[in-house]
Amino acid sequence: MSDVKVLGTFWEAPARPPLCAVSLDLVPVDLLTQWRRCGMISDCFAEYLSYAFEHRDVARSILSTVVNELVENVAKFSADKLAPARLTLEHHGATLLVESRSVSDPVHVGRLEEELAELAAGDAAAVFARLLADRRGLGLALVASDYRAALGATVTPAGAGLSTVCLRAALPASEVEQR
Amino acid sequence: MRLQLRIAHTSGDVLSCQRLIAQVYNRHYGVVFSDDIYDLDAKVEPWPHRYLMALAGEELAVVCGLYLRHTYVERFGLVTDAEIEAHLEDAGVRGSYDPRDRREVTKLVVAPPWRKLHLSPAIIAAAHSRDFMEMEAERPPLLTYCCVRTIAEGIMTRHGIRARRLKAFPKYKVHELYRSESNPMDSYLVIPAVDVPPAYRDLRIPGEYALDVLGGERP
């Protein structure tokens, strides 16, 4: 376990099983070959979990947006596009967990470390505004800024200089329930 | 070295071609693909309609795509029918071709293990064969490319295929890692009957060929 590095605000899921959960194994290259698949997966996950909420349309829209950011992240930043990746969406009562697990190279891990540290330390809306001004990737900052999601990751050596990155967005269920 | 050429007809063949292209294009240019949507500024490109495969033994070594319609040259290169017509006139073949019947060679990719073997020229030559570029056509079409200048010059000098420069290709984000100031991107036209040597026009596909027959030996 000592080889595992924690980045940002990594939400530890409780020991008890989630109230509702869906997960999917995929091969990142399939997303590159048909980019619409990112949206299909996000919509499917969101639709699945939306039945847990009174305002299903609102839940579907928010969850789809958040899941889509992590799906696109997997597509873009997997070091080996043929190595399986996993996506998970879970309802833990007060918290909704969106998780991706994929293999990344040191360059991406470095960028992720920087961005997650910045989001954990500062004002997510300010980070978002700065990234927007710099015309850089907005995905994770948007999730943190718009939905008060806590973002964190674990990085585990996977051999050949690569790492398995488990990226988590922990979203307050109230963000979905109160809109 | 010998290459087996065939056109991708099965879903398995098409997927193999798309996977190879997507991996290489994403790694080098950050591009992704879709059949449903495209957005050159978001780096989402449309897939070609057909693929030519070159296999070394059982392995897919090189692939090349073909747009049967909606070519980049017309959609994004803003080349008009009248501009094509003017080139047909210059070549003395006005009336032999319909300027609207255009196809485009695109997305040429060599699989990483086969790099440095000069396989790209081989599949470029094969892509000019009637069996590939005229497939499913009611009458012989014209051929277009949009590519950087060094590629077009390479096609001319190596194969003797004349690529007629149409105009500069507008700048899109999707090409930011492909083109440069010193190697600009243009739209080109090939009039098969007068611009392509018969040896390539008459190449039969499927078929197996030595690399030198396809102009693919090291220069």
Domain ranges of chain A: 5-11+20-177
Taking the Cβ of residue A29 and every Cβ of chain B, the question of whether any pair is shorter than 8 Å is answered with: yes
Taking the Cβ of residue B19 and every Cβ of chain A, the question of whether any pair is shorter than 8 Å is answered with: yes
Phi (first) and psi of residue B111, to 5 degrees: -65, 140
Q: Which of A85, A81, A68, A95 is nearest to A165 (CA)?
A: A85
Instruction: State how far residue B28 is from chain A, nearest Cα, in angstroms.
Output: 12
Do A35 and B15 count as a contact with CB atoms less than 8 A apart? no
State the ipTM, two decimals.
0.71
What is the Cα B179 distance to its own chain's centre?
A: 16
Chain A residues inside the 8 Å CB shell of B36: 34, 36
Residue of A nearest to B15 (CA): A33
Rounded distance between C-alpha atoms, residue B199 and residue B213, angstroms: 9
pLDDT at A137 over 70: no
Instruction: State how far residue A32 is from chain B, nearest Cα, in angstroms.
Output: 5
For residue A141, name the pLDDT band (cuts at 50, 70, 90): confident
Taking the Cβ of residue A34 and every Cβ of chain B, the question of whether any pair is shorter than 8 Å is answered with: yes
The order of strands in the sheet holding A85-91 is A5-8, A150-159, A162-172, A95-104, A85-91, A20-26
Q: Tell me the β-bridge partners of B51.
A: B65
Write the pLDDT tens digit of every residue in A3-54.
999 999 999 999 999 999 999 999 999 999 999 999 999 999 999 999 988 8
Place of tokens 């300027």: B99
Q: Which of B46, B108, B49, B72 is nearest to B187 (CA)?
A: B72
Per-residue pLDDT tens digits of chain B, which is 219 residues long: 899 999 999 988 999 999 999 999 999 999 999 988 899 999 999 999 999 999 999 999 999 999 999 999 999 999 999 999 999 999 999 999 999 999 999 999 999 999 888 888 889 999 999 999 999 999 999 999 999 999 999 888 888 999 999 999 999 999 999 999 999 999 999 999 999 999 999 999 999 999 888 876 655
Query: CB neighbours of B51 closer than 8 A, spacing ≥ 6?
Result: B7, B8, B13, B14, B17, B18, B63, B64, B65, B66
Q: Which of A77, A76, A104, A73 is nearest to A87 (CA)?
A: A73
Chain A residues inside the 8 Å CB shell of B33: 32-35
pLDDT at A129 over 80: no
User: In A, residues 115-144, which contact B (CB 8 Å cutoff)?
Assistant: none
Phi-psi region at A99: left, alpha or beta (left = phi > 0; alpha = psi -120 to 50): beta
Mean pLDDT across A112-138: 75
Query: CB neighbours of A156 closer than 8 A, spacing ≥ 6?
Result: A3, A4, A5, A163, A164, A166
Q: How many CB pairs under 8 A join A and B?
A: 34
Mean pLDDT across A62-83: 95
Architecture of domain B2-214: 3-Layer(aba) Sandwich (3.40)
Task: Give the pLDDT confidence score for residue B143 in this predicted structure.
Answer: 97
DSSP B136: T
**In contact, B17 and B53? CB cutoff 8 Å:** yes
**DSSP character string of chain A:** -TT-EEEE--PPPPSSPPSEEEEEEE-HHHHHH-THHHHHHHHHHHHHHHTTSSSHHHHHHHHHHHHHHHHHHHHHH-SSTTS-EEEEEEE-SSEEEEEEEEEE-HHHHHHHHHHHHHHHHS-HHHHHHHHHHHT---HHHHHHHHH--EEEEEEEEEETTEEEEEEEEEEEHHHHHT-
Q: At the topology level of CATH, where does A5-11+20-177 sit?
A: Heat Shock Protein 90 (3.30.565)
Query: CB neighbours of B165 closer than 8 A, spacing ≥ 6?
Result: B152, B186, B187, B188
Chain A residues inside the 8 Å CB shell of B23: 29, 32, 81-82
Q: How far is CA B77 from CA A103, B44, B74, B82, B152, in A?
A: 38, 17, 5, 14, 16
Rounded distance between C-alpha atoms, residue B98 and residue A83, angstroms: 47
**In contact, A131 and A114? CB cutoff 8 Å:** no
Give the H/E segment covering residue B52.
strand B50-56
